[in-house]
């Protein structure tokens, strides 16, 4: 049996670290792993937004699905940052075995004609 896991996400850019989000991992009725990012219950969120579920990813074993159509059309920076948090978590915990690598800037070479 899979035990639900809960993780707190802290914003470390502020003067004091702030618990802004919570990530949970659990199994759904099909036994697929569901990873969800929600707002915390801290003071920075309005009463209507505290604990609000923002993004869920379902790992079916063959693919990862988004149950909501959150990323069609224009996507605000806030939603993009929330997706980054969730994908960074997945990549660090190697839950889905995402990509590991390096990015290098390519500089143009100098070409001389002789």
Closest to 89 measured CA to CA, from 35, 41, 53, 39: 35
What pTM, to 2 d.p., does this model score? 0.83
pLDDT value of position 96: 62
Q: Say which residue the tokens 């923002």 belong to.
A: 54
3-state secondary structure of 15: coil
- Residues in contact with 86: Cβ distance below 8 Å, sequence separation at least 6, in sequence order: 23, 35, 37, 55, 57
CA distance linking residue 10 with residue 90, whole number of Å: 16
Place of tokens 């390519």: 106
Write the pLDDT tens digit of every residue in 44-74. 999 999 999 999 999 998 888 987 777 778 8
Torsion angles phi and psi, residue 75, rounded to 5: -120, 125
């Amino acid at each position: 049996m899979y035990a639900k896991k809960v993780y707190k996400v802290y914003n470390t850019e502020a003067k004091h670290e702030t618990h802004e989000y919570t990530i949970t991992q659990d199994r759904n009725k099909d036994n697929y792993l569901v990873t969800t990012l929600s707002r915390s219950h801290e003071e920075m969120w309005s009463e209507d937004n505290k604990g609000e579920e923002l993004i869920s990813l379902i790992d079916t074993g063959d693919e990862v699905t988004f149950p909501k159509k959150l990323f069609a059309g224009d996507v605000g920076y806030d939603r993009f940052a929330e997706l980054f948090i969730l994908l960074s978590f997945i990549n660090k915990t190697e839950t889905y075995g995402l990509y590991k690598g390096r990015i290098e800037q390519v500089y143009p070479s100098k070409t001389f004609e002789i």
